[in-house]
Amino acid sequence: MQQGLTETMAVPMLSPAARRRQLREKVIAGFITLMAFTGIAALVLILVFVAKEALALFTEAEARHEASLSKMFLPQVARVGRPATFTWQPVSNVPKVSMIPLFIGTLKTTAVSMLVAVPVGVFGALYAAEFAPRRLRELLKPVIELLAGIPSVVLGFFALMVMATFLQDTFGLNTRLNAVVAGLGLALAIVPVIFTVAEDSLTAVPRSYREASLALGATPWETAWKVVLPAAAPGILAACVLGFGRAIGETMIILMASGNAAIVSANLGDSVRSLSATIAAEMGEVVVGSPHYSILFFIGVQLFIFTFVLNMLASAWTKKVIKRLTGSAS
């Protein structure tokens, strides 16, 4: 735009049509800039709002007493005469607000879902991009993307009604609703995310790479695995990060299928309570401004920080990978 301006000054004699075109360009550029800054402003304002609501935890005496950082992250004595534990029990005569069971719950469901969704999504994309006949590929892509269009409440309902009983009968789990059921339900939601982005980055790998590899005598499988997949690594990593972000923030499926018991255990067959589902389940009941309310917003801040840090790490790593692939060119 700078250049355009100086040009206008240097060449004052423009035809009316050219001037109109220039004006139109300027209006469009301004509109796009406005939209971009609206997006950024919205994001910043949301963050400010969420952080402001959570801030009361640190500034108000009542909230500080009820939910200090040590109460959130260190074990507390729940019942007199019992050992100190990590307990999430915010509605109680003595509120107990340990974040640890919620962290564990979130990590368990996220781990299960990523364990399932990453291989399915990435290998599905690799198959669609490299091996599937054209016709099948044209069918496969929209069908999997359609899965992304299913509302998560429907996926949650499916996990609750169908998968839970099936998994319990098959594996003899103690409880119907647990991290495995919730994680698998979650996987249904993130497979299309990972698949779509990974497939796009795989098909974007230049044809010449494949041709060179095949010309050197590599089999199609070797080409796909050792050439195309590494070349698309940054995009595939981005797909996984996107999937991870969705998994950590996804609420409805977990709310419905996880059992929502805040248990500290490593067993995937136990019920779990996640950070996001806790916000959804409890935000309705709290009185605005109470310590419990602030804690729920604080959980929101933590979720934000998680995904933010993860995205930063991923983008740093992606840069490194790109550098390695392209040499020191960029």
Partner 1 sequence: MKTFLKSLVAVLLVALPVAARAGTVTVKGSDTMVILGQRWAEEFMKKAPATKVQVTGGGSGTGLAALQNGTTDIAMSSREMKDAESKKLRARYNTTGEEIAVAKDGVTFYVNAGNPVTALTLEQLRGIYLGDITNWKEVGGPDAAIVVYSRENSSGTYVFVKDNVLDGEDYTSSAQTLPGTAAVVNAVAKEKHGIGYGGAAYAKGIKELNVKKGNEEIAPSADNIKTGKYPLSRNLYFYLRNKPASEVKAFIDFALSPEGQAVVTKVGYFPVK
Contacts to partner 1 by CB under 8 A: 78-79, 85, 87-93, 96, 101, 153, 157, 160-161, 164-165, 174-177, 252, 255-256, 259-263, 270-271, 273, 280-288
Q: Which is nearer to partner 1, 79 or 320 (CB)?
A: 79
Burial grade of 55 (CB within 10 A; 0-12, 13-18, 19 or more): middle
Q: Is residue 90 within 8 Å of residue 83, measured between CB atoms?
A: no
Burial grade of 200 (CB within 10 A; 0-12, 13-18, 19 or more): middle
CB 108 to partner 1: min, Å: 15
Q: Which is nearer to partner 1, 20 or 79 (CB)?
A: 79
Hunting for tokens 């260190």 — which residue is that? 74
163: its two tokens: 């998968």
Strands 76-77 and 96-97: unpaired
179: its two tokens: 């991290």
Q: Is residue 247 within 8 Å of residue 121, measured between CB atoms?
A: no
Q: Which is nearer to partner 1, 79 or 323 (CB)?
A: 79
CB 97 to partner 1: min, Å: 12
Q: Is residue 198 within 8 Å of residue 235, measured between CB atoms?
A: yes
Strands (E) located in the chain: 76-77, 84-85, 88-89, 96-97
Q: Is residue 230 within 8 Å of residue 159, measured between CB atoms?
A: no
Q: Which is nearer to partner 1, 109 or 271 (CB)?
A: 271
Give the three-state DSSP class for 119: helix
CA-nearest of 142, 125, 117 to 250 is 117
CB 78 to partner 1: min, Å: 7
CB 113 to partner 1: min, Å: 19
Q: Which is nearer to partner 1, 193 or 263 (CB)?
A: 263
- Distance (Å, rounded) from C-alpha 128 to C-alpha 197? 12
CB 203 to partner 1: min, Å: 37
Instruction: Provide DSSP, 262-313.
Output: ----S-TTS-B--HHHHHHHHTTTSPTTSHHHHHHHHHHHHHHHHHHHHHHH
Q: Which is nearer to partner 1, 200 or 282 (CB)?
A: 282
Q: Which is nearer to partner 1, 91 or 139 (CB)?
A: 91
CB 48 to partner 1: min, Å: 17
CB 165 to partner 1: min, Å: 6
Helices then strands, counting H and E runs in the chain, come out as: 16, 4
CB 259 to partner 1: min, Å: 4
CB 50 to partner 1: min, Å: 12
Q: Which is nearer to partner 1, 196 or 278 (CB)?
A: 278
Q: Which is nearer to partner 1, 234 or 300 (CB)?
A: 300
